[in-house]
Every structure is written in structure tokens, then in C-alpha cells.
């Protein structure tokens, strides 16, 4: 699998983010709780050196709760503040707000000691495409202050949002690194819709997804769709037949089946599934 995907707006966004980093006190890195390893942006760790860093495992409502708890423990053991949330929920966003408020208060105290006029704490919200950055900001702000959408690449430029007199947030476009050296990373991102699915033939993506599911959550597809086959491509054909996705001459439309399967999976209709466990990855 050779995924080369780096739209022009990302190159621009990355440069603009590097520039703005000088102004920022805190980086909130949003990752997908279902794939905390693949959804990390290696750039951010580098760019964020010397700043406070908060790791958010978002879309936790779609991830396996036991696995998410293990990830939180894993990050905290490594000295990283980590929180898992469903960022569509205002209540859950509040937990994040508490941590940010704490840092804002610390900063204000420090500024006072040094006799500097206190300015609001500036927080950059960053992460890969479609992970929920804008949604998180809207929940924190209590209003639709930035555009969200169920596809990668919705936010195109940097945008400051004032939360209160003591805090400003910056929404950023999702960025990825130009090339996936690690094939599994690309596969996991494509499966969860973080990168455009056009980069791979849909059926190939679904077949690989089925194999992963069968390894980690065996029987989940048989149960959901009433499948009896066990080979991945045959399962896709059977799914097409069951759903009535047929082409001319009653040939199963495996592409339509693949689309259905991936949509169901991404939307959580196969249950709460995590693709990555901490012991299999390094931070």
C-alpha cells in the first residue's frame, strides 16, 4: 500500500501553525480513541516542546472502554496528561476545561509575580483531520463558533476563538505527515475515515478491515449482518447479497457492501471497537 496524500492546504496550514506556535502556551492534541497510535501527529511532539501538552482521546464513545482506560493509564504513566472524551458532550468538554483553567490560573500567578500584565492563556487545538478538533472547541465555547463536518478537511485555516477573558483557543486544520512509512498506520487511518478513502480501492480497504476485526473482535460481523462465511472477501460478497446490493446479472456489488461496512463501523454501529492497544505500540 502506497499512500501519498498531502493536499496543498495542509502544507500551508503546517507552516502557519509553526508560526503561530510562538504565541501559544498550551497544545491540546486530539487523537482518535480508537487509534491513539496511528492518529498521533509526530510533528506535534516536536513543535510542542516546552509547552504544556494535553492529550485528548476523542470519540471515546466509539472506542472499546477497557482499551481506552488502558491507553489513559499508559499515557499518564509516561507523564502525559491524557483525557478520554466524547467531545460532542458539553459535560465531557468541561473536564478538559478544568485542566485548562488550572493552567490559566498558574500562568496568571506567574505573570503577577514577574510583574507582567496578564494576557489570556492561548491554547492551540491540533490533530489529524476529522478527529473532532472543531467539535471540541464548540463544546468548550458553548456555541457553534467553528465549522464541523463528517469528512476530513473541513477546517481550512487557523481561527482564534475567545472562550473567556482568560482563555483563547485556536482551531487548526487537520494535518498529517506527507507519507505513511508504516503501512498499518495508513490502513487504520483510512478505515476510520481520517484520510480520504479514495486513496485505496474500497474493497481492498474493507477486506483488510474485516481481517483485523476478525482477529480482534471475532464474530462481530457474523452477529451484526448474519454472515456465515469466514474468508474476508467472501464475507463481503455475502454481505452484498444479504443487503441486496447486486449488479447486473445478480453479481454481488462488493463495493457497495464495502461502503456500508465502513460506514457502519465508523459510526459505531458494529459496537465499540478499538483498533490499537497500548502494549502493541510505542507513544
Ligand X SMILES: Nc1nc2c(ncn2[C@@H]2O[C@H](COP(=O)(O)OP(=O)(O)OP(=O)(O)O)[C@@H](O)[C@H]2O)c(=O)[nH]1
Decide if 128 contacts 176 (C-beta within 8 A). yes
Binding residue (CB under 6 A) for ligand X from 36, 174, 252, 278: 174
Binding residue (CB under 5 A) for Mg ion from 58, 134, 254, 266: 134
146 — alpha (psi -120 to 50), left (phi > 0) or beta?
beta
Decide if 195 contacts 129 (C-beta within 8 A). yes
Closer by beta carbon to ligand X, 152 or else 252: 152
Cell of 202: 474500497
From 36-44, 80-88, 159-167, 210-218, give the range in contact with ligand X by CB under 6 A.
Answer: 80-88
44-63 positions binding ligand X, by CB under 6 A: 58-59, 61-62
Closer by beta carbon to Mg ion, 129 or else 278: 129
193 makes contact with ligand X (CB under 6 A)? no
Minimum Å distance from CB 146 to ligand X?
A: 7
Q: What is the DSSP letter of 277?
A: -
- How far apart (Å, rounded) are the C-alpha atoms in residues 229 and 99? 49
192 makes contact with ligand X (CB under 6 A)? no
- How far apart (Å, rounded) are the C-alpha atoms in residues 277 and 38? 11
Nearest C-alpha neighbor of 44 from the set 14, 73, 4, 74: 14
Compose the 113-152 pattern: x for residues touching ligand X by CB under 6 A, - for all others: ----------------xxxxxxx------------xxx-x
Residue 168, helix vs strand vs coil: strand
Closer by beta carbon to Mg ion, 92 or else 130: 130
Which residues lie near ligand X (CB under 6 A)?
58-59, 61-62, 86-88, 129-135, 148-150, 152-155, 173-174
Amino acid at each position: 500500500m502506497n499512500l501519498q496524500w498531502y493536499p496543498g492546504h495542509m502544507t500551508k496550514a503546517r507552516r502557519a501553525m509553526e508560526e503561530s506556535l510562538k504565541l501559544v502556551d498550551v497544545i491540546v492534541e486530539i487523537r482518535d480513541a480508537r487509534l491513539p497510535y496511528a492518529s498521533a501527529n509526530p510533528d506535534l511532539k516536536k513543535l510542542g516542546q516546552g509547552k504544556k501538552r494535553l492529550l485528548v482521546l476523542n470519540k471515546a464513545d466509539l472506542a472499546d472502554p477497557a482499551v481506552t482506560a488502558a491507553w489513559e493509564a499508559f499515557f499518564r504513566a509516561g507523564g502525559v496528561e491524557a483525557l478520554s472524551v466524547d467531545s460532542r458532550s458539553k459535560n465531557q468538554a468541561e473536564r478538559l476545561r478544568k485542566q485548562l483553567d488550572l493552567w490559566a490560573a498558574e500562568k496568571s500567578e506567574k505573570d503577577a509575580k514577574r510583574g507582567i500584565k496578564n494576557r489570556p492563556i492561548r491554547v492551540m487545538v491540533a490533530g489529524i483531520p476529522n478527529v473532532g478538533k472543531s467539535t471540541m472547541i464548540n463544546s468548550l465555547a458553548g456555541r457553534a463558533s467553528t465549522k464541523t463536518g463528517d469528512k476530513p478537511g473541513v477546517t481550512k485555516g487557523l481561527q482564534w476563538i475567545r472562550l473567556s477573558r482568560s482563555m483563547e483557543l485556536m482551531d487548526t486544520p487537520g494535518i498529517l505527515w506527507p507519507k505513511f512509512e508504516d503501512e498499518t498506520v495508513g490502513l487504520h487511518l483510512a478505515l476510520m475515515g481520517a484520510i480520504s478513502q479514495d486513496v485505496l480501492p474500497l474493497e481492498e480497504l474493507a477486506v483488510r478491515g474485516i481481517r483485523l476485526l476478525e482477529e480482534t473482535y471475532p464474530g462481530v460481523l457474523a452477529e451484526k449482518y448474519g454472515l456465515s462465511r469466514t474468508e474476508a472477501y467472501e464475507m463481503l460478497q455475502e454481505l452484498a447479497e444479504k443487503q441486496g446490493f447486486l449488479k447486473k446479472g445478480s453479481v454481488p456489488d462488493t463495493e457497495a457492501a464495502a461502503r456500508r461496512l465502513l460506514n457502519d463501523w465508523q459510526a459505531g454501529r458494529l459496537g465499540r471497537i478499538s483498533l490499537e492497544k497500548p502494549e502493541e505500540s510505542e507513544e
